[in-house]
Amino acid sequence: MTIQTIAPHDLQTAIASGIAVDLIDVRTPEEFAGAHVLVARNVPLGGLDARALLAQHNAASTQPIYTICAAGTRSATAAEALIAAGAPLVLSVAGGMQAWIATGLPVVGGKRVRRPSKSTLLAIGAVAALWVAIAAFWGQSDKPAVHSNLPAPLVDFSRDVVEASKTKPVLVDFFATWCEPCTMLAPELESVADERRDRVTLLRIDIERQEDVAVAQKIEPIPDVRLWKGGHEVAHFIGFKPRAEVAAWLDHELKAP
């Protein structure tokens, strides 16, 4: 089933217009308390009763039901349940709260989730573009980017990260396809890791495809890059870094006892 989505900005526009918006946040109460959209009501996915929700919404209403979660996976599942129960129109918020916050839209809650502002993202993009141009001019980038647009393979975190790191360090890149800094960082990470393939393994985890892992690892701002050694996380950084900084950081951490 293909679930219709709505961009965070478009939903905020509807809220600001004064339209009665029925937004169901299907995350856990702990996640909801951390940060949520003002008009949202918390109905965790595990306890969602689609027919009861539909009755509360009033099936005769012409307004859609909106669903939201951390990154979109649970939201789509809830939307499917509501449609199966007879809801005429359900829209899942594209990218979930991750995208909502990254867009700079307002949230309420006791936990301040740090995200780069739009101006910051633009500045990051400009710096990244300048760095790439300089590197190309001086011949510092002697090989094409190895980044692929194919979906990241699913990762068994316990096996592929925790256990695998006991024999060889594992570098984990938590990202999302809608995240501009993530897109810029990917080729930098892949190039650095490829040159050190005998010393480290790079794994990329799409927080939308593996939302359970992102929640378990408490991933909030992205990109979030974490190094695991000996079955434990030993270092991490958040946000874009140019290749030289990534290489220096990784070399330092790999040498650390």
The two structure tokens encoding residue 237: 């950084």
Is the backbone of residue 23 left (phi > 0), alpha (psi -120 to 50) or beta?
Answer: beta
Residue 175's nearest CA partner among 223, 236, 103, 242 is 223
| Active-site residue (options: 179, 186, 225, 247) | 179
Answer whether 204's CB lies under 8 Å from 149's CB. no
Q: CB 222: neighbour CB atoms within 10 A?
A: 24
Is 179 considered catalytic here? yes
| Active-site residue (options: 182, 184, 186, 205) | 182
Is 69 considered catalytic here? no
- To which residue do tokens 């990051």 refer? 124
- To which residue do tokens 């300089």 refer? 134
Residue 120: CB partners within 8 Å, gap ≥ 6? none
* Residues with catalytic roles: 179, 182
